[in-house]
Structures are given as structure tokens and as C-alpha cells.
Homo-oligomer: A and B are copies of this chain.
Amino acid sequence: MSDTRQTRNSVLLPEPTLRRLPWYLAYVAMLNQEGVENVSSRRLAQDLAVDASQIAKDLSFINIKGKTRIGYDVAELEEALRNFLGFRNRHNAVMVGAGSLGAALMHDSGLQHYGLNIVAGIDTNPKIADTVIAEIPVYTPDRLAGLVRDMDIRIGIIAVPVEHAQEVADSLVAAGVRALWNFTPRRITVPAGVVVANTSIYSHLAVMYNRLAESDSNSAES
């Protein structure tokens, strides 16, 4: 247990908690920049629209407790959240599929800010392979296994057309990648022990369109 990373971030948190922690971080980072020193759980609850007891519970997972009548120390909370979430570490990643969405993500410097270090791209298109996108070199698929090994790549990002998602997932796993970030709407299957995160931004569009149609329908009735 001498590995600090392990002791710090190896608690398996409930996913809803893990998804809320970055909200807290974004908010307290903003307060910190504004020079605010303490924040009450009541203010956090109000500004983030999350129940105060839920916030206290979420933060207890990372051993943060507020002080009576003072609340949370803003700088301390920011530091603890940033460390816990792994945003301070660098996680090397390869982007498979450097087309529209893949290239867009390679251009997003925000990912770097959150610890994701995209060190290489892969694309089958001869017009894209062997180019450089946002200072990241793009290679042909035959280079994948060597890149993963030589560049200490632990995360594979999948931004290929949906019909290739599973085969790309398979080749990333075979190459030794430990986690997959899947941007396609295709559900992929992986061996036990491989981490999968799904970010299907188009699914969020579907939710939004549906709610919008519902809202239109309510206005029409009233």
C-alpha cells in the first residue's frame, strides 16, 4: 500500500457520485479564483441544485468534512477533488478514428487540462494517416500495438464509424490498453477487467429533442 495513487483513488465510488464530483470541483475552483475562502454546504446545494445531504455524503467518500458554521475550506476542497479525480495525473491515450469527431476531440485542449494526454491518433484513411492533427501524429492501424507498448498508452478512445467500433475495441484490448472511451453509439463488449466509459453525445441529443417536443406539446395545450 505504498503506492499513493493506489491508496488515493482505488475506492470504487458509485458512478453518480463520481459524476457529481467534477461539478463540485468546477464550482469550488471558480470560488477559489474569486477569492472565496469558505463555502457552506447550503450554498453548494443551492448553486449546484444537489441536495445538501447528498453533497455531504459524496464528499465523505473522499474524506472531506465541512466545519460547523464555517463550511468547507474552498482551497482544500479544490485540491482534494482534483487529486482524487486523477485530473492531476497524465493518462496517455490513443485516438482511434481521427475523422470529424476524433479530430475535434484532439483539438480540445480541455481534455489535456483534465489529465488526458492524447499522444497518437490512428486512422485507416490514407489522407488522414501520416498527418499531424493539433500537434498529435496520426498513424496507420498496423502501428497500434507498437505505439501502445512504446508510448505507455493505457486508454484507447474510439471515434470510428459505428460498424467498426467492436473490432477497434478488440484490437485496442489485444494491444494492451486498459480502458476504452467509446464515443460511438455502439455498445461494445470487452473482457473482464477492461474499463469502458461510454460518451454517446448523440444519445443526449435524442433526450433533448424528446423533452423539447414534450415541452412544445405542453405549451400548445395551455
Contact = CB atoms under 8 A, between A and B. Distances in A.
Given A104-B108, A217-B10, A208 B3 contact: no
Given A26-B184, A204-B181, A10 B209 contact: no
Contacts of A148: none
A211 interface: yes
A168 to B, nearest CB: 14
Contact of A186 (B27, B111, B179): B27
Interface stretch (A63-71, A119-127, A192-200): A192-200
A132 to B, nearest CB: 16
Contacts of A27: 162, 186-187
A119 to B, nearest CB: 16
Contacts of A137: none
Contact of A22 (B47, B114, B200): B200
Contacts of A8: 213
B211 A179 contact: yes
A175 interface: no
Main secondary structure of the interface of A (DSSP, over half): helix
Interface string A1-28: 0010110111111010011011101110
B207 A19 contact: yes
Interface in A148-173: 154-155, 162-163
A130 interface: no
A203 B111 CA distance: 11
Interface stretch (A35-43, A85-93, A138-146): A85-93
A85 B208 CA distance: 10
Given A110-B101, A220-B6, A85 B199 contact: no
A216 interface: yes
Contacts of A208: 155, 179, 181, 195, 197
Given A87-B209, A104-B108, 5 more contacts: A8-B213, A12-B210, A21-B206, A195-B211, A199-B201
